[in-house]
Structure 1
Amino acid sequence: MTTLVAVHGDITTEATDAIVNAANNAMRGGGGVDGAIHRAGGPEILRDCIARFPNGLATGDAGWTTAGALPARWVVHTVGPNFGAGQRDRGILESCYRRSLEVADEVGARRVSFPLISAGIYAWPRRAAITTAIDAIAGARAAVDEVRLVARDESAHREIASALVMTTSVRILQGVRELHRRGFHRLRVSPGLAPSGLYHRIVLTDAADPDGAIHYTSGAETEFAGGTVDAMSAPHDVAALILRALPRLVATHDAPEYVAWFAGLLAAVEPEHALPVSFADYFDAGAGWEIGWGSGLRYPAPPR
């Protein structure tokens, strides 16, 4: 299984199999990460770009070249969407990560280091860039052993590291949706904040067995239901942990309204991993659940 980690550092010094370059369509070098990689790697990278990409590279696509003088073996080039120029389709940004990992698999890379694609001069909002990166890498199911998200800026690194921890909550909620789709309609969710406000909590219960419950806190990081759930966990794996921890839960197919409500909740949560809150100190849930603590965005309370 591929591991995903946050790294504070300079991508041009990554001693790994492949580093990913946030290139432009011309594939002839540029500014930001692109310029730094060409400068550090030397003219051999540009010569290979000219030879391998005579017509440039399409947005969302990827391809590889030599790494020149860099400590990596290959450079995987990808062209991210320019948010500032109106290219705001998340699917294209996801394609950059997916195609880069496909190319990494083609050349046999086992360890790959990415910058945050499009989050620099292409102005993609950083939070959205981070969550897109995490979800796209997790969804790619690549053969590589390790993916590193490298940030030179300390604040960006902290935000990536925090997002990786909080993604466990998202994966748990996705595991619940997976079970709902299989007919386990009596599985209920209550997410909220610890009194300190530092930790996200989730309580899972079987509506037919109030004595059975699973408690998760982000303070436990990836520990959940006697197993491990992280950013790379698939919904069916999370579902298996839930079923093991709630052995009396059965498929009843009897609460489609709740299932539809929960699916709508996740649709609001997933784009930027804005975690839902149904309980917290001084929080009135009567107006609905909040999507992202402090956002003011409310989602209707669950049907009874």
Structure 2
Amino acid sequence: MTTLTTTRGDITTEHVDVVVNAANNAMRGGGGVDGAIHRAGGPDILRDCITRFPDGLATGDAGWTTAGRLPARWVVHTVGPNHGAGQRDRGLLESCYRRSLEVADELGARSVAFPLISAGVYAWPRRQAVTVAIDTIATTPTKVEEVRLVAYDAGVHQEIASSLTMATSVRILQGVRALHRRGYHGLRVNPGVAPSGLFWRVVLTDAADPGSSVRYTSADEAKFAGGVVDAMTTPHEVAEQILRALPRLRPANDAPAYAAWFAGLLAAVEPEHALPVSSADYFDDTDGWEIGWNSGLRYPAPPLDADSSQ
């Protein structure tokens, strides 16, 4: 079981098995995190880079060297995509985290500290960079037991921490989608914002038994349906918690139009964890649900007749 946390500080002082370096293609040191790791670790890291990577390293790939004088055992170097230079394939950024964890597994590492890859001089939009980090780490099979996202800047650290908390809400919605895929089309979702505007909340209802529902508010943080859901909880695990909370829910497979609509909604939510809102004080849903409170981005309301395709 992997835990994912965030900490504010200097990544070169992290006492972990692996420190991940946001390197460049040349693999000869650079600025930002790359320069800091080489300075703190000393010349042995550069010598190892020259030996192991005579031709550099491809964007999205990862490889390891000694950690030199760092308190870590190894440095895993990965090259993030340069968004500012037009490298905007999200898959390359995901590959950095995935490949780094694969290399860490090859080394037998149990703890890994990551910087927020590509979010500095490579100018990847920060909110999406945070989301990619959290979601990719959460979905990558690994034997690493502890992963830390390390931020030197207080604002970046707070954004990562907020996104980790928000991940509970996203995982609940992903659990609903998982059940729809299993034929539980009667599971309906009504998300909103508390009158204070501070908390997102959602009601999950069995359409065949409207009196049966399970509720969540982000004020409860990771507590949901008598259990815990966090960034590392899988949609399948969330689905099982929902089924325990709604024991009468059945896989009738009778509203594919609603299931398809909800899958589209999640596709709009997931890239930046922008939560949907269907109701709030002074909110008019005539133009559809909002994706991200006060974003102005709307998604069509659910089908009036969820069974219309039958």
If the length of structure 2 is used for normalisation, what is the TM-score? 0.97
Gaps of 5+ in 1: none
Whether contact under 8 Å (1:168, 1:229) holds in the other structure is yes
Distance in structure 2 (CA, Å) of the matches to 1:161 and 1:169: 14
Distance in structure 1 (CA, Å) of the matches to 2:279 and 2:189: 12
1:47 aligns with 2:47: yes
1:86 aligns with 2:104: no
If the length of structure 1 is used for normalisation, what is the TM-score? 0.99
Residue-by-residue CA offset, 1:70-96 (whole Å, 9 max, x unaligned): 011110000000000000000000000
Aligned equivalent of 2:177: 177
Aligned equivalent of 1:127: 127
Aligned equivalent of 2:224: 224
Distance in structure 1 (CA, Å) of the matches to 2:40 and 2:9: 15
Distance in structure 2 (CA, Å) of the matches to 1:192 and 1:73: 46
Aligned equivalent of 2:117: 117
Aligned equivalent of 2:275: 275
Moved more, 5-14 or 278-287: 278-287
Q: Quote the RMSD (CA, aligned, Å).
A: 0.6
**Count of equivalent residues:** 304
Distance in structure 2 (CA, Å) of the matches to 1:199 and 1:74: 41
1:205 aligns with 2:205: yes
Distance apart, 1:48 and its partner CA: 0.5
Aligned equivalent of 1:296: 296
Whether contact under 8 Å (1:10, 1:151) holds in the other structure is yes
Distance in structure 2 (CA, Å) of the matches to 1:296 and 1:78: 36
Residue-by-residue CA offset, 1:209-261 (whole Å, 9 max, x unaligned): 11111110111111111111111111110000000000000001110110010
Distance apart, 1:267 and its partner CA: 0.5
Moved more, 192-201 or 94-103: 192-201
Alignment of 1:53-68 (within 5 A): 53-68=53-68
Q: Name the SS of the counterpart of 1:60 in structure 2.
A: coil
Aligned equivalent of 2:307: none
Distance in structure 2 (CA, Å) of the matches to 1:57 and 1:2: 27
Aligned equivalent of 1:156: 156
Distance in structure 2 (CA, Å) of the matches to 1:208 and 1:299: 25
**Structure 1 runs (4+) greater than 6 angstroms displaced:** none
Whether contact under 8 Å (1:2, 1:141) holds in the other structure is no
Residue-by-residue CA offset, 1:36-78 (whole Å, 9 max, x unaligned): 0000000000001011111111000000111000011110000
Residue-by-residue CA offset, 1:259-296 (whole Å, 9 max, x unaligned): 01000000100000010001111111122100000110
Whether contact under 8 Å (1:3, 1:147) holds in the other structure is yes
Q: Name the SS of the counterpart of 1:286 in structure 2.
A: coil
Distance in structure 2 (CA, Å) of the matches to 1:43 and 1:151: 24
Residue-by-residue CA offset, 1:17-38 (whole Å, 9 max, x unaligned): 1110000001000011000000
Gaps of 5+ in 2: 305-310
Q: Name the SS of the counterpart of 1:271 in structure 2.
A: coil
Distance in structure 1 (CA, Å) of the matches to 2:271 and 2:64: 29
Distance apart, 1:141 and its partner CA: 2.2
Distance in structure 1 (CA, Å) of the matches to 2:146 and 2:91: 23
Residue-by-residue CA offset, 1:113-144 (whole Å, 9 max, x unaligned): 00000000100010010000001101102111
Aligned equivalent of 2:259: 259
